[in-house]
Structure 1
Amino acid sequence: MRCYKISEKLEPIELKTYKNLDFQYVIVMTSDEWKDRSTDFDMGIEWDIYSRSGSGTRAEVNYDSITGKFSILDRQNMPEKAGEFSFSLDEKGIIFVDDQGLAGEIIDRISSSKKLFNPCLERFLYDFLEQIIYNDADLLASYDRTLDEIEKKIFAGHTDNVLMKIAEMRNQLRDLKIHYLELMDVCQEFEENENEFFMASNERYFHLVNQRIQRLYERVTSLVEFTIQLREFCQSKTDEKQNSNLAYLTVISSIFMPLTLIVGWYGMNFKYMPELDEKWAYPVTGIICILIVVVCITFFKKKKLL
């Protein structure tokens, strides 16, 4: 179990008691440690959210605490999750129950890089939520560039395996969109401050981070719409290519239809076909076939069918 005092920097401390403290704290522990020591804290009486699988990121207001769960996507390997952990907080501090170590990693980054101008629980939560979405603007920019490259390939007629790539990116963006919605719900729960755990003057922190998540949500929504447009564009290009191939085959068939007629005509083996006994019959027939092919090709090129 790791304990921190919220001051200008998150200060690691050792605590023997967790009641009647004159400062706010952050604690990270495992689920087994929570089961053993939950009675040390005046919170979490209704904390059953940890056992709910697949519930996603959420927060619930209880009589004496706000409890919830963070389900963080692995930005490098979506739709896999980087980890899940629960939390419980009141006006005295926040406890993270984490068996995977992700909450501890986020807190370490805050502790090593952040100096709190206004040390308080609200500011810590602001920094914590900021760490979750820290590089997401760059991530969405990379998605934007990839989709632009896909669009260029489609314009160039390279549609092989493109639909599969678009579908994969759309699924990843959809997961991010859901993730941002859940984070916004958590921010709104904090901002409403139903239990009055937070100072009114500090509620602006939740509003600020909620606005940033909202902008990311709007951006990922536009990218999802872009993938839908690309999918339709790719499908239309594929249909156009197929129609072009069919038109080409139709033209080729049209060119050879007169030749097929000539072959069929002279394949009837009638006894009285006077030109069969003439020396000029074969070369003349060949010349006629060549002329038919040339005329047909010239005609279809003028009609821009070849």
Structure 2
Amino acid sequence: MKSYKIKEKLEPIELKSYKNLDFQYVVVMTNEEWKERGTDFDMGIEWDIYFRSGSGTRAEVNYDSITGKFSILDRHDMPNKAGEFTFSLDEKGIIFVDDNGLAAEIIEKIATTKKLFNPCLERFLYDFLEQIIYNDAELLASYDRNLDEIEKQIFGGHTDNVLMKIAEIRNHLRDLKIHYLELMDVCQEFEENENEFFMASNERYFHLVNQRIQRLYERVTSLVEFTIQLREFCQSKTDEKQNSNLAYLTVISSIFMPLTLIVGWYGMNFKYMPELDEKWAYPFTGIVCVLIVVVCVTFFKKKKLL
């Protein structure tokens, strides 16, 4: 279990009791540690419901606390999770129950890199939520660049496996979109401050981070719409290519149709066909066939069908 005192920088501390403190704290512990030391805190929490639940990030207001769960996407391996952990907070501090170490990693990063101008629980929560979405702007920019490359491929007529790539990106963006919606719900629960755990002057921190998540959500939404447009564009290009192939086959069939007629005509087993006994009949028929091909090819090229 790790404990921190919220000051200008998070200060690691060791306390036997967390009751009647004159400062706000941050605690990270495992589920087993909570079972052993949960009575040290004035929070009657049943964590099992969050561990059993398959839902994502959420927060719920209770009589004496705000409890919830963070389900963090692995930005490098979506839709897998980087980790899941639960939390509970009141006006005295916040407790994270985390068995995989992700919450401890985020808090350690805040402790080593952040200096709080206004040390308080609200500012810590602002920094914590900021760490969750820290590199998301660059992540969305990379998706934007990938989609631009796919668009260039489609313009160039290279549509093989493009729909699969678009579908994969769209699925990732959909997961991010849901993740941002859940984070915004958590921010709104904090901002509403139903239990009055937070100072009114500090509620702006939740509004600020909520706005940033909102902008990421809007950007994801526009990228999802872009994937839909690309999918339709790719499908139209594929249809265009198929129509072009069908038109080409139609032209070839049209050229060979009169030749097929001649073959069928002279393939009839009639005894009295006078030109069959003439010496000039065979070369004349060959010349006629060549002329037919030349005339048809010239005609279709003028019509830009070849």
Listed as ranges, the matches of 1:1-306 within 5 Å are 1-45=1-45, 47-306=47-306
Structure 2: distance between partners of 1:228 and 1:202: 41
SS of aligned partner of 1:212: helix
Residue 127 of structure 1, CA deviation? 0.2
Structure 2: distance between partners of 1:122 and 1:79: 30
Residue 51 of structure 1, CA deviation? 2.6
Structure 2: distance between partners of 1:255 and 1:34: 83
TM-score (norm 1): 0.98
Q: Does the CA-based 8 Å contact 2:65-2:89 persist in structure 1? A: yes
Q: Which amino acid aligns with 2:179?
A: H
Q: Which amino acid aligns with 1:303?
A: K
Q: Does the CA-based 8 Å contact 2:47-2:86 persist in structure 1? A: no
TM-score (norm 2): 0.98
Alpha-carbon displacement from aligned partner over 1:57-106 (angstroms, at most 9, x marks no partner): 00000000000000000000111110000000000000000001000110
The two structures, once aligned, show a CA RMSD in angstroms of 0.9
Residue 46 of structure 1, CA deviation? 5.2
Structure 2: distance between partners of 1:67 and 1:87: 6
Structure 1: distance between partners of 2:26 and 2:186: 18
Residue 209 of structure 1, CA deviation? 0.2
Residue 52 of structure 1, CA deviation? 3.3
SS of aligned partner of 1:195: coil
Percent sequence identity is 90
Structure 1: distance between partners of 2:79 and 2:56: 13
Alpha-carbon displacement from aligned partner over 1:138-186 (angstroms, at most 9, x marks no partner): 0000000000000010011100000011011100000000000000000
SS of aligned partner of 2:59: strand
Structure 2: distance between partners of 1:49 and 1:200: 31
Structure 2: distance between partners of 1:68 and 1:101: 17
Structure 1: distance between partners of 2:69 and 2:45: 15
SS of aligned partner of 2:305: coil
Structure 2: distance between partners of 1:41 and 1:88: 10
SS of aligned partner of 2:292: helix
SS of aligned partner of 1:77: coil
What stretches of structure 1 of length at least 5 have no aligned partner? none
Q: Does the CA-based 8 Å contact 2:126-2:206 persist in structure 1? A: yes
